[in-house]
């Protein structure tokens, strides 16, 4: 088996380093092949165990759908409004229940506390850099997730359940049918990024693009240039939900969650159903780190090769 061969190779290397048994020239190709097999196998395991989850609201329950398989992966708390807002960050899914922002640990399913209050049960939410943003009395407020403290206000909106999205230090919102951006560090307005046909239209941010809904079409605006970069499917509700992740923009059309590839504009499938056409969505991209043995073995590989070559060179000199 490959694992047994790798153990033998590691043992041979250890013996070589201790000077007990040098590795001969004819053994080196097999050793290098075994090392390469070990690294590739470990990387493939890391890749195959990655997964992403799309969260939505269905019959007052937050449900998760595996984006790779399309299977339901469980429920993560309840809400008091079928189009309650959702946001994901750092292992927590945030929602609104009875005017309070609540957090649920997606690993355990346990409630991890409350993070401020809102003035509307389907107020918008957005998460970024340890802060959960919400709307309270027409103001965008931020709450530090670690401390639970209010960290300030970040502009105003013209609708108490206006949409929010966060990206690259900017909190995006809708004010008088315009998408506006506020720098979280300075609190200053950084410009407008297109218009919408509904004051509580949905927003999503990803890869430098702010997505919104205008006349039943999902449109994208480049944040750097302010230019429209195209349309990405249609929705059946002007304030349908949006979420972005891994190159796909998710939306709701006729009670179904659909995904559109941003590069090609093609529909990539459906990902569950919702009980409200403007239910909210949140995306969790799960990245599995490369296993520690790969880093350790990879970082030690140059040293092992050097030792091997030196041993072979010394042995050949002794023979001559």
**Could you report the per-residue pLDDT of 226-260, keeping only the tens digit for each?**
999 999 998 887 667 899 999 999 998 888 999 99
- The DSSP letter of residue 119 is S
The pLDDT of residue 81: 73
3-56 pLDDT, tens digit per residue, is 444 445 555 555 554 454 544 544 555 555 555 655 555 555 444 445 699 999
Query: Mean per-residue pLDDT for 138-164?
Result: 90
What confidence tier does 309 reach under pLDDT thresholds 50, 70, 90?
low
Chain centre distance of CA 210: 16
3-state class of 316 per DSSP?
Answer: helix
Strands (E), 147-280: 150-156, 164-167, 170-175, 178-183, 189-195, 203-206, 209-214, 217-222, 228-234, 242-245, 248-253, 256-261, 267-273
3 state SS of 262: coil
| Most confident region among 38-42, 216-220, 239-243, 283-287 by mean pLDDT | 216-220
Report the 3 state secondary structure along 80-95: CCCCCCEEEECCEEEE
The pTM assigned to this predicted structure is 0.76
Instruction: Give the separation between CA 155 and CA 248, rounded to whole angstroms.
Output: 29
Strand partners of residue 77 = none
Asked if 253 and 234 count as a contact pair (C-beta separation under 8 A), the reply is yes
pLDDT at residue 144, as a whole number: 96
> Strand runs (DSSP E) across 196-241, as ranges?
203-206, 209-214, 217-222, 228-234
pLDDT bucket at 133, cuts 50 / 70 / 90: very high
Question: Which of the four pLDDT bands, split at 50, 70 and 90, describes residue 143?
Answer: very high
The answer to whether residue 310 scores a pLDDT higher than 60 is: no
Residue 35 has a pLDDT of: 59
Highest mean pLDDT (candidates 30-39, 57-66, 142-151):
142-151
| The CA-based dihedral angle spanning residues 273, 78, 84, 167, taken in that order and rounded to the nearest 10 degrees | -90
pLDDT of residue 58: 85
pLDDT confidence of residue 237: 72
Q: So what's the pLDDT on residue 1? A: 36
Percent of the chain with pLDDT over 90: 49
d(CA 242, CA 204): 6
Which of 64-73, 158-167, 214-223, 257-266 comes out lowest in average pLDDT?
158-167
**Average pLDDT, integer, range 136-159:** 92
Percent of the chain beyond pLDDT 70? 69
Taking alpha carbons only, the member of 251, 92, 121, 226 closest to residue 172 is 226
pLDDT of residue 48: 44
pLDDT at 215 over 80: yes
Q: Does residue 59 or residue 18 have the better pLDDT?
A: 59
List the structure tokens of 201: 């239209």
pLDDT tier at 190, thresholds 50, 70, 90:
very high
pLDDT computed for residue 3 by the predictor? 41
The confidence score (pLDDT) of residue 59 equals 86
Average pLDDT along the chain: 80
| CB-side neighbour CA atoms (13 Å) of 15 | 11
Element (H, E) at 34: helix 28-48
User: What pLDDT score does 300 carry?
Assistant: 56
């Amino acid at each position: 088996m490959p694992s047994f061969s790798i153990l033998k190779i590691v043992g041979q290397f250890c013996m070589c380093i201790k000077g007990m048994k040098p590795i001969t020239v004819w053994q080196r190709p097999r050793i290098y092949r075994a090392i390469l097999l070990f690294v590739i196998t470990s990387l493939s395991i890391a890749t195959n165990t990655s997964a992403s989850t799309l969260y939505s609201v269905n019959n007052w329950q937050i449900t998760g759908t595996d984006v790779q398989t399309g299977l339901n992966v469980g429920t993560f708390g309840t809400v008091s409004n079928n189009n309650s807002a959702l946001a994901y960050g750092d292992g927590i899914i945030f929602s609104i229940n009875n005017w309070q922002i609540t957090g649920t640990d997606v690993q355990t399913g346990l409630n991890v506390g409350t993070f401020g209050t809102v003035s509307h049960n389907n107020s918008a939410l957005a998460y970024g850099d340890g802060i959960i943003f919400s709307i309270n009395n027409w103001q965008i407020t931020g709450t530090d997730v670690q401390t639970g403290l209010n960290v300030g206000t970040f502009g105003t909106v013209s609708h108490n359940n206006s949409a929010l999205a966060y990206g690259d230090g900017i909190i995006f919102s809708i004010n008088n049918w315009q998408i506006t951006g506020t720098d979280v560090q300075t609190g200053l307005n950084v410009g407008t990024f297109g218009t919408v046909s509904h004051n509580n239209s949905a927003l999503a941010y990803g890869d430098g693009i702010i997505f919104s809904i205008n006349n039943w079409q999902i449109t994208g605006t480049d944040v750097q240039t302010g230019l429209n970069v195209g349309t990405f499917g249609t929705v059946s509700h002007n304030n349908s939900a949006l979420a972005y992740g891994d190159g796909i923009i998710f939306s709701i059309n006729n009670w179904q969650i659909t995904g559109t590839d941003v590069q090609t504009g093609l529909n990539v499938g459906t990902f569950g159903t919702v009980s409200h056409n403007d239910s909210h969505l949140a995306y969790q991209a799960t990245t599995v780190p490369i296993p520690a043995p790969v880093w350790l073995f990879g970082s030690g590989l140059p040293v092992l090769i050097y030792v091997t070559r030196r041993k072979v060179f010394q042995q050949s000199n002794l023979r001559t």
